[in-house]
Amino acid sequence: MRNKKLQVWLPLLLSLCVVAGMFIGYRINGNMPDNGIFYIEREKPVTQVLDLINRKYVDNENMDSLGDLAIQTILSRLDPHSVYLPAQELKMVNEDLEGQFFGIGIEFNIINDTVNVVNVLSKGPAETAGLLIGDQLIKVGDSVVAGNDISAKKLRKLIDGDAGQPVNITVYRNSEEKNFKIVRGPVPLYSLDAAYMIADTVGYIRLNKFSETTYKEFMNSMESLLKKGMKGLILDLRDNGGGILTQATNIADEFLNENKLITYTEGAHSPRKDYRCQKEGLFEKGKVIVLVNEGTASASEILSGALQDWERAIIVGRRTFGKGLVQEQFELSDGSGLRLTVARYFTPLGRSIQKSYKDGIAVYDSDLVRRFKGGEMTFADSIKHTDEKKFQTASGKVLYGGGGITPDIFVPYDTSLFIKEVMHAMMKGTLSKFVYKNYLKNEKEFKQFTSPRQFEQKFQVSDSMLRDLKNYAQNDSIHLSVENPRVNAMLKREIKVLTAREIWRTEGFYEVNNQFDSTVQRALQLMKPMKDILSAK
């Protein structure tokens, strides 16, 4: 009888022992769920499928690629801004946000399979070693890079590396070879393209992104412009795709007073978080105009939206991109990363500026094309708000949420820029290559100009220069009708602007180009009458 009872209870006792062992194991490893309930976690079907393919499939497959594809497919069902970043891509993204990478500090252009140095960054490793604009790279280390089907991607792999590591570079200069040993070091990736006095009491600042160094760059420029007598500011955020949120809120704090709300974020798993002004701003009273367009996104829209809600700035240009989602970045075990949308951000009035993505990512990505086709880029009354809920500022001005920030003053896209043959020459790189070669040929002549402003006022593109360009373009199978007045004027403008960039880089480019820029010129008109600016003293 005792034997039979033991046979009945033995399986149950063994099961209890197993469960007790699992319980103790969970407790030791710290994996016990908070509610005290434990369970055996099984592999998810997606993991099982990948494992079966790896072990059983008829052919050998690259499992990393299949895994990446599975992740990307899952993310495509969420929102357009939750993305998976392979390790190398994540590294580049992080460098961009950090505001620096490690390399030698040159900009280059590949012309006829030859790597030409078009810029040597000030105080960078290459300048310290003695590289000059116009040098042509022959070898990097033991690798020949001249006439060897070199690409920008291949060259960067050879040049970039860890800080402190040397790289030997051979260049061709003035008909002879020269060797340089360059120690790789930090190379800044500036987020501020230009800062100068565009008029007697009006400053201009252009930001291309919000990285870890943006606020510092911005403040240095603001302090410099204030010393020069700035009473009004044109802040150019066109084509600024965003970046680090706190850099944008720090800048907003310089324009807004007291404890004003700048933005807040909120999500299903992220409780509301407010970002408010925390200190006295550097420019709380001067007149501010913010320039925006369809490329203005994310953190740029936070800054623009806050200043618009508080009626602190006039927003000029075209409707912004419409990205109101906050991403948090998670690094994965293999060095790759996941940027996952965790919240939405809202302007002080409560506007969500995120445009709709309910029709899928393909439709979302084609939004800018639809804006062109629908006439929105050229006519203000063609602007369509995806969220018709109205918000009111303190003075009663009506604003909308959804679909980006709608400007207070609309400036249409300059369709005169669409000259097919000129655009072809620009997109193929023919125009920039010609300007670079022409600069090297006439470098002494260009060095007589001491500033972009003097260059803009005194330098004239000659007819002979246009003829040289026409002949150069024919080698790229591009015909330029330089006799056509519209083509003639456009080419002269582009040559002048690109030459300024060769001499003074982005600062020179924008200082000269802004004289032709319809949005900038509209902002300057709005800065008048000057009594409004002077009253801010």
All domains of the chain in start order, with CATH: 100-188 (2.30.42.10), 192-413 (3.90.226.10), 416-524 (no CATH)
* Residue 92: its H or E element: helix 87-98
pLDDT over threshold 80, residue 302? yes
Residue 495: which of 523, 473, 522, 520 has the closest Cα? 473
Residue 431 token pair: 């125009």
pLDDT-derived band at 386 (thresholds 50, 70, 90) equals: low
**Helix orientation angle between 63-75 and 45-56, rounded to the nearest 10 degrees:** 160
pLDDT of residue 417: 82
Task: Dump pLDDT digits (tens) for 271-294.
Answer: 999 999 999 999 999 999 999 999
Which residue is associated with the tokens 């949005």?
519
Judged by DSSP in three states, 394 sits in: coil
pLDDT over threshold 80, residue 39? no
Cα dist from 174 to 130, 263, 444, 499, whole Å: 14, 56, 16, 22
Predicted structure pTM score: 0.85
pLDDT over threshold 60, residue 398? yes
Task: Dump pLDDT digits (tens) for 408-437.
Answer: 999 999 888 889 999 999 999 999 999 999
Task: Dump pLDDT digits (tens) for 6-19.
Answer: 454 444 444 544 44
Average pLDDT over residues 240-251: 96
Q: Which one-letter DSSP state was computed for residue 175?
A: T
Residues of the chain with pLDDT > 70: what percent?
89
pLDDT over threshold 50, residue 34? no
Residue 132: which of 141, 142, 122, 144 has the closest Cα? 122
Task: Dump pLDDT digits (tens) for 122-134.
Answer: 778 999 999 999 9
Average pLDDT over residues 135-141: 92
Q: How far is Cα 122 from Cα 132, in angstroms, rounded to an integer?
A: 11
- Contacts with 245 (C-beta within 8 Å, 6 or more apart), sequence order: 210, 263, 265, 275, 299, 302, 326, 345
pLDDT-derived band at 44 (thresholds 50, 70, 90) equals: low
Residue 407: which of 506, 522, 492 has the closest Cα? 522
Catalytic residue among 135, 193, 236, 309, which?
A: 309
| Catalytic residue status for 323 | yes
- Is the CB of residue 195 less than 8 Å from the CB of residue 221? yes
Q: Which one-letter DSSP state was computed for residue 314?
A: E
Cα dist from 199 to 204, 289, 511, whole Å: 9, 14, 11
Catalytic residue among 298, 304, 352, 432, which?
A: 298
Average pLDDT over residues 289-300: 97
Catalytic residue among 209, 231, 287, 323, which?
A: 323
| Catalytic residue status for 298 | yes
